[in-house]
A and B are shown apart, each in its own frame.
Chain A
Amino acid sequence: MHDKILVKDIRKNYDSEKGSLPVVGGVNFTVREGEMVAIVGPSGCGKSTLLHIIAGFIQPDQGSITVDGKLKTKPSSKGILISQHGSVFPWLTVQQNLMFGLNGDIHGDKRELADHYAEMVGLKGFESSYPHELSGGMLKRVELARALVVKPEVLFMDEPFSALDALMNLRVRNELLRILSEERHTVILVTHDVEEAIHLANRVFVLSTRPTTIQASFDVPFPHPRDLSSREVQELRVSILRELGVNIFTD
C-alpha cells in the first residue's frame, strides 16, 4: 500500500503577549492508504493543533503536508474533521445534515445517498429528527455519517468519542470499526485514551510535551476484532503509558 499522507517537519508557534510559544516542534510521519494511526499525548501537548494543521485548518509556520503527492494547504471535503464537541447543525434534521456536504449534481439522488448512510450508522427512522431529539451517541453517528456521505479519502478525528460515556464510547468504536471494514478510509485519530488507540489503530504515535514531537511509535499488530483484555494488548498499553510517563504495576 502506498503512502497516502506525508507529514514533513511541521512546526508551529503561537504568539502571545509573553512572546512566542512553540507548540509543535517538528513532526514527521507518513500514513499509508487505508491505515488508521492514533496520536496520543499528554493534555495540552498540541495534538489537537497538530491535527488541525494536517487537516488544513491552521497554517504551519514550517513544514508541509502532502496527500497523494499533492501539497495540502487548505481544508477540503476529501478530508473531513470530526471533533470532540461535534458540529452537527442543530437547526437541520438528520437527513438535511447528511445532505449538507453534497454539493453540485455529481452525487445522483442525494436523499437516497443520505438515507443509505443513515441506515449504515443505525439511524434508520430518525431521518427527520432534529439533533436535540437525539442522544450523544446518536449525534456522533450523525456526524460520522455526514462525513462518510461525501466519500472522503481521509477522516481526521479529534477526540471523537471523549464526550461519550464509557459504554457508548465502546459501542461507537465498534461501529466505527465495522464501517471502516466496509469502506476503507485513511484515518488519523487524536485521543488521550490509550485503550481506544490500541482498540482502533494500526499504529500509535506518542507525542512529547510542548513543543511536541513524536517521542515513540508503536505497531498494533493484532487483527480485528481485538481482545482488549488479552495479555499482549495489556503489555502494549503499559508500554505506551510508560512512554507517557505513567507507570502501572503489572505482574
Chain B
Amino acid sequence: MACESTLENGMVEMIKQFKNLTRKFKQVVPSLALMSILVAVWWMLVIMTKSVIFPTPWQVLTGTMELIENGTLWLHIGASLFRVCIGFLLAVIIAVPLGLWMGWVRLAYITLNPIFQMLRPISPIAWIPITILWFGVGNASPIYLIFIASVFPMIVQTTVGVHTIEQRYLRAARNFGVSRTKLFRQVVIPAVLPQIIVGMRIGLGVAWLVVVAAEMIALRSGLGYLIMDSRNAGNRYDLVIAAMIIIGLIGLLLDGIMRLLEKLKLVRWHYAR
C-alpha cells in the first residue's frame, strides 16, 4: 500500500512539474518566435544585398566560437565585470548612507540635493576627458565613470525611499518611544530597503551601459574594447555583433541577479500587496 501511494505521489509530482515546465515554455514561445524571425530576416537581407562587410548570423556564431576557443572572450568579459563590480560597490557604499542621511536630515537634503540634481543629468560620456586627466588610462578611469554614473540614481532612490515612509509607521515608533537606533534598525531601514534595491537595479543597469562605453577609449581589455578593436583590426563585424549580443545577455543576467534581491524575505512585504 505504502509503496503504491509513494509511486502515485511520484507520478502526481512529475505531472505537476511537467505542467509547470509547459507553462514556462509557453511564456517564452512568442519572444523566441519573434527572435527567430528577426534572425531569418537579417540572414536573408545580408544574402540579398550581397554585403561583404555585414556578417550573417552564422558568421557571428563562428566568430563567437573563435573567441571562446582562443580564450579572449572570457578575458574581456572578466575585465568588464571586474570594473562594474568595483565601481558599483563603491557607489553602493557611498550612496546608501548618503541617501539615508539626506532623506532623514532636512538640512542635508536642501544642501546636497540641488548639487546632485545638477550633476545627475551629465552623461558619463561627458566625464571621459576629465576622468582620463585625473585617473589616466588604466582600470581606475572606467571604475570612476561607473561610480559617477550609478551613484546618483541610488542616492536619489534611497532619499525618495526615506521621504515616502508612511507617517503612520513613524508615528507608531514615536508613540512607543523607541530609541534612535531601534527607530533606524527596525523602521527606517526596512521601510526603505525596497527602494534601495530599486536604486541598485537602476544603478547596476547604468553601470553596465557605461563600462562598455568607457572601454571604447584607450583600454586594452573589456567588451567595449573588443568591439572597437574588432572594427579597427580588419572590419571584423562578426565579432562586433557577437560582442553586442554578449553585452545584452550579461546585462540581462545582472538584472536577473538584482531581481533575486526583491525575493528576499526582508522586502517581500513590499511586493505582496
User: Does residue B177 face the partner (Cβ distance < 8 Å to A)?
Assistant: yes
Q: Which of A76-84, A199-207, A239-247 contacts B (4 or more CB under 8 A)?
A: A76-84
What is the distance, in angstroms, from A70's C-beta to the closest C-beta of chain B?
A: 16
Interface residue from A81, A90, A96 paired with B269 (Cβ < 8 Å): A90
User: Does residue A137 face the partner (Cβ distance < 8 Å to B)?
Assistant: no
Given A100-B186, A103-B182, A130-B268, A87 and B169 touching (CB < 8 A)? yes
Mark interface residues in B148-171 (1 if CB within 8 Å of A CB, else 0): 000000000000000000001101
Contact A150 B176 (CB under 8 A): yes
| Chain A residues with CB below 8 A from B178, complex form | 100-101, 103
Give bound CA distance, A57 to B266, whole Å.
30
Per the CB 8 Å criterion, the residue count for chain A at the interface is 25
Contact A132 B176 (CB under 8 A): no
Give bound CA distance, A96 to B176, whole Å.
14
| Chain B residues with CB below 8 A from A86, complex form | 168
Interface residues of A in 63-79 (CB under 8 A from B): 75-77, 79
Given A81-B171, A87-B171, A89-B190, A103 and B177 touching (CB < 8 A)? yes
Mark interface residues in A205-244 (1 if CB within 8 Å of B CB, else 0): 0000000000000000000000000000000000000000
| Chain B residues with CB below 8 A from A75, complex form | 171, 174-175, 177
Q: Residue on A with the closest CB to B178?
A: A103
User: Does residue A92 face the partner (Cβ distance < 8 Å to B)?
Assistant: yes
Contact B190 A91 (CB under 8 A): yes
Interface residue from A77, A85, A90 paired with B175 (Cβ < 8 Å): A77
User: Does residue A131 face the partner (Cβ distance < 8 Å to B)?
Assistant: yes
Interface residue from B168, B169, B179, B270 paired with A103 (Cβ < 8 Å): B179
Q: Residue on B with the closest CB to A92?
A: B186
Contact A91 B175 (CB under 8 A): no
| Chain B residues with CB below 8 A from A133, complex form | 272
Q: Residue on A with the closest CB to B169?
A: A87
Give bound CA distance, A83 to B175, whole Å.
12
Give bound CA distance, A241 to B178, whole Å.
41
Per the CB 8 Å criterion, the residue count for chain B at the interface is 23
Contact B176 A131 (CB under 8 A): no
Mark interface residues in B46-74 (1 if CB within 8 Å of A CB, else 0): 00000000000000000000000000000
Q: Residue on B with the closest CB to A79?
A: B175
Mark interface residues in A82-113 (1 if CB within 8 Å of B CB, else 0): 01011101111000100011010000000000
What is the distance, in angstroms, from A161's C-beta to the closest C-beta of chain B?
A: 16
Q: Residue on A with the closest CB to B193?
A: A91
What is the distance, in angstroms, from B192's C-beta to the closest C-beta of chain A?
A: 10
| Chain A residues with CB below 8 A from B272, complex form | 130, 132-133
**Could you say which of A83, A89, A133 has the most chain B C-beta atoms within 10 Å of its C-beta?**
A89
| Chain A residues with CB below 8 A from B172, complex form | 81, 87, 89
What is the distance, in angstroms, from A89's C-beta to the closest C-beta of chain B?
A: 6
User: Does residue B81 face the partner (Cβ distance < 8 Å to A)?
Assistant: no
Residue positions of B touching A, CB distance < 8 A: 168-169, 171-172, 174-179, 182, 186-187, 190-191, 193, 266-270, 272-273
Residue positions of A touching B, CB distance < 8 A: 55, 57, 75-77, 79-81, 83, 85-87, 89-92, 96, 100-101, 103, 130-133, 150
Name 8 extra pairs, CB < 8 A, besides A87-B172, A90-B269: A57-B174, A76-B177, A81-B171, A91-B193, A92-B186, A100-B176, A130-B268, A131-B269
Leading 6 A-B pairs by shortest Cβ distance: A101-B176, A87-B172, A91-B190, A90-B269, A132-B272, A87-B168
